[in-house]
Amino acid sequence: MILGVFCAIMVLATVGAVAYYSPIVSSQQDQINSLNNQGTAQLSSLNAQITQLQGEVSDLQNKLSDSYGVSGLEMSTVWLSDVTVNQDVGAGVWYQYTATYAGYITVNIQTSTTSNQYVQVTWTSNGVNYSNKVTVGTMGTAVFPVLPSSNVKVTIGNTNLLNGATATVSITYTY
C-alpha cells in the first residue's frame, strides 16, 4: 500500500511538474525560434551587404585600372572613323567633342581632293584657349594636345578659291 501511495504521489508530482514546466519550455522554445529567425534575417542582410561591397570593390578596381591606363596615355576613343567629309569652297565642317582627360587628338586625312586641306582644333579649359590649324594636303596626319574640355571643336576644311573639297577622315582621342 505504501508503495501504491508512493507511486501515486510520484505520478502526481510528475504530472504537476509537466503541467508547470510545459509553458516555460514552450516559451523558451518560442524565444529560441525567434532568435533563430532573427539570426537568419541578419545573416541574409549581411550576405547582401557583402555582395554589394564586393561589387563596389570590383568597380573601384576597374576605375583604378582605367586610371593607370589614362596616366600612361594608353586609352583611346575613336571619334570619327573613315568618314567622307564634303566641304564647300573655302569652308570647313566641324565636329564637337568632350575630352574628359588630358591627352592628344590625332586627325588622319586618308584622302582629299585638294592640296589645300587643313585640320583645325580649338578648345578652352580652365582659362586656357587653344587653337591650332595644320595644313595636311591631299593626305596626312595632324596631332593636337588637349586638356579636359567639354567644347573640343575639330574642323576639317579647305582654303580653295574655286571648288569645294572632299576628304576621308578619322579622328582619335588618346588619353
**CATH number, domain with residue 114:** 2.60.120.380
Residues 87 and 128 placed together within one structural domain of the fold:
yes
The residues pairing with 142 across neighbouring beta strands, listed in sequence order, are 107
As a whole number of angstroms, the distance between CA 124 and CA 101 comes to 13
Residues 101 and 61 placed together within one structural domain of the fold:
no
Single residue among 71, 92, 116 that ends a domain in this structure: 71
As a whole number of angstroms, the distance between CA 166 and CA 90 comes to 12
Walk along the chain (175 residues) and give the pLDDT tens digit of each residue: 786 666 667 666 676 666 666 677 667 777 777 777 787 878 788 788 888 878 887 777 777 766 665 577 889 999 999 999 999 999 999 999 999 999 999 999 999 999 999 999 999 999 999 999 999 999 999 999 999 999 999 999 999 999 999 999 999 999 9
Domain span at residue 39 reads 1-71
Number of structural domains the chain divides into: 2
Residues 162 and 88 placed together within one structural domain of the fold:
yes
pTM above threshold 0.75: no
Residues 85 and 165 placed together within one structural domain of the fold:
yes
